[in-house]
Amino acid sequence: MNHLQALGLNGTPKCGRAFNQPLADYITSHLPNPHFPNTLAKDMVRAFAPGKCILFGEHAVVYGHPAVAVAIDAGVEIELSESDSWTIEGMPFESEKHPHISHILNDVFDYGGSPLKIKIESGLFSAAGLGSSAALSNAMGAAVLRIMDSNAELDSVKLARIGHAAEAKAQSGRASPTDTATSALGGCVVVAGNQVRGTKHVFDASMVTPEGERKWSVCEVELPVDLDAWLVLGFTGIGSPTGEMVAGVAKLLEEDSSKYQEMDAIAMITQAGLTALGAGNLEAVGIAMDACHEKLQKIGVSSPELDSLVEAVRPHSLGAKLTGAGGGGCMVALTQHPQRVAEAIEVAGGTPLISRLGADGVRIL
């Protein structure tokens, strides 16, 4: 059984040679046909996967508490077209330089078809905590699946698993499923050690990391359809070093165990924010976001740049906080006045990105 079959993705390639198809059959089936002059036309597929934003629970999730993330409108689009040679963004494709992509092509799908011209377009700030590598993996998974089998159904859970494995492969075996699950499923996703009250269980994920096996319950929360609010992300322009920030928090907790209280407080705020979100109580969601930012400051993961963007948007927002690992990266505001918030972010030196709350997940375009 190859990796594709192991994941339950058992499609017959539409173009290119199937895993088990004899070469002679493949060549015969691709001979020019006078009645169907398009037989040799090159195939093209486009797929899109959204980025994500953590609303509550970053850092606390590392200690088993829940994290709540939503898919955002911006994301990564991949275009694959059959070609005579392997290229990516017009340059020769060197697989070792693109671990997510080569893992999906080779390890997951065992792709044996024509060379591909790969085009990538990202609407996400990179290294900013918006899940750009997860979106890339999910869009690539969807696009490869579809170029191999035009009838293949997109199964978002399977794509989330593929994306998670690709992330782990590219990140020395360490990756939580938060980014890939949110990008694949869309909407609002809760990741925790155990299923969280008030959520719907979608799948369990596990991974053998260098520190031992880790397990997560991935759940979703249905957001009310008529939410009258927007998210505005503000990028500080500084990269967010997730590994460094997580290590810094671990050191802080080791030196001062009273800081575990901040983690417990974040977990309580997360539960309150989640309940408010499910009920469409936007004021309460905003209050929880403000409270969460204060706790994140106390564990040392905010920065002067993040604080200054958060302060700048407060007069026009229901709530605002840093999102993701901190240190740099982005803050996020919940607001009914997205243009005003975007302007405030720009004036304060950041780059804004407006999104709905909980966009759709991975899709074929």
CB of 345 to ligand PMV, least distance (A): 18
- For CA atoms 218, 1, 47, 127, give the dihedral sign: positive
Question: Which single residue brings its beta carbon nearest to ligand PMV?
Answer: 324
For the window 220-259, what string marks contact with ligand PMV as x by the rule CB under 6 A? --------------------x-x--xx-------------
* 199 phi-psi bin (left φ>0, alpha ψ -120 to 50, beta other): beta
Q: Of 106, 108, 135, whose CA–CA distance to 122 is shortest?
A: 135
Q: Is residue 329 close enough to count as binding ligand PMV by CB under 6 A?
A: yes
**Packing angle of the helix pair 178-185, 132-148 (nearest 10 deg):** 50
Reported as half-sphere exposure (CB side, CA atoms, 13 A), residue 209 has a value of 15
Give whole-number Cα distances, 174 to 57, 141, 208, 211, 242, in Å: 18, 20, 8, 9, 12
Closest CB to ligand PMV among residues 62, 223: 62
Closest CB to ligand PMV among residues 240, 317: 240
Closest CB to ligand PMV among residues 145, 332: 332
CB of 277 to ligand PMV, least distance (A): 18
Q: Is residue 157 close enough to count as binding ligand PMV by CB under 6 A?
A: no
DSSP state of 259: G
Q: Is residue 156 close enough to count as binding ligand PMV by CB under 6 A?
A: no
Q: Is residue 335 close enough to count as binding ligand PMV by CB under 6 A?
A: no
Q: Is residue 15 close enough to count as binding ligand PMV by CB under 6 A?
A: no
CB of 128 to ligand PMV, least distance (A): 8
Q: Is residue 58 close enough to count as binding ligand PMV by CB under 6 A?
A: yes
Phi and psi at residue 90, to the nearest 5°:
80, -5
Answer for which of 17, 46, 59, 169 binds ligand PMV (CB under 6 A) is 59
Q: Is residue 45 close enough to count as binding ligand PMV by CB under 6 A?
A: no
Residue with the two structure tokens 């075996």: 173
Q: Of 182, 179, 196, whose CA–CA distance to 275 is shortest?
A: 196
Q: Which residues bind ligand PMV (CB under 6 A)?
A: 54, 58-59, 61-62, 129, 131, 176, 178-179, 240, 242, 245-246, 324-325, 329
